[in-house]
Amino acid sequence: GENVEQHPSTLSVQEGDSAVIKCTYSDSASNYFPWYKQELGKGPQLIIDIRSNVGEKKDQRIAVTLNKTAKHFSLHITETQPEDSAVYFCAASKTGNQFYFGTGTSLTVIP
Amino acid sequence: EPEVTQTPSHQVTQMGQEVILRCVPISNHLYFYWYRQILGQKVEFLVSFYNNEISEKSEIFDDQFSVERPDGSNFTLKIRSTKLEDSAMYFCASRGDTYEQFFGPGTRLTVL
């Protein structure tokens, strides 16, 4: 089955700096890659997603890039703010049903 | 904004007991899911449900687990005889026509 690896496990950045989280996947048939943000005591919330037919997608301060050949995708957050502090999960799916999640990155934005 | 809700938020049970975790998906969604997250580990897929039947399930979802949509709004996960290793956060999710899955806040299950 699919295996998704995520790095780093923890990340601290100064407010205003950029944060980058990287994921790799193993199954070349995966075609949907969402990123979820999980705040303490809450369920994961989708922040951005990308399909395999595009290489990059941007939504304000958040962007995701996908390299199908290398089987990796990354989350980029620019101009980070304290409210960006949370755990971020990447995931991969080929059916839109079963999501394979990464291990999560705990992001801390230092004011 | 519509959201997925789950009850209870925390369930404590004795090993060997049956538990039922409840979810109310977003009303116009047709695909329903259960995931679990053992403390400090990945979120893991358990099962997907569509058109009143299981469409996919993982190796974790063995005979001790079952799902049901007993009426037009609820979606339940039953664990027949809980084990210590079933202690985890259980998330329900639902989606409509797109691949975007909306997650509930989770039920923390503690098996003693």
Given an 8 Å threshold on Cβ–Cβ distance, is A101 in contact with B33? no
Structure tokens at A17: 């700096």
Question: What is the model's pLDDT at position A43?
Answer: 87
* A62 neighbors A48 (Cβ within 8 angstroms): yes
Q: By the CB < 8 Å criterion, does A97 face chain B? A: yes
Candidate from B4, B42, B95 with C-beta closest to A103: B42
Q: Which of B95, B81, B91 has its CA nearest to residue A96?
A: B95
Q: Which residue has the tokens 């101009």?
A: A79
Q: Which of B84, B34, B101 has its CA nearest to residue A89?
A: B101
Structure tokens at B56: 């996919």
Cβ-Cβ contacts under 8 Å, A106 against chain B: none
Q: What is the pLDDT of residues A26-75, one digit of tens each?
A: 999 999 999 999 998 888 999 999 998 889 999 999 999 999 999 999 99
Q: By the CB < 8 Å criterion, does A45 face chain B? A: yes
Q: List per-block mean pLDDT (blocks of 10 residues) for chain B, which spans 112 residues.
A: 92 97 95 94 94 93 94 93 96 94 96 96
Q: By the CB < 8 Å criterion, does B99 face chain A? A: yes
Q: By the CB < 8 Å criterion, does A31 face chain B? A: no
Measure the CA–CA gap between A90 and B41, rounded to whole angstroms. Answer: 13
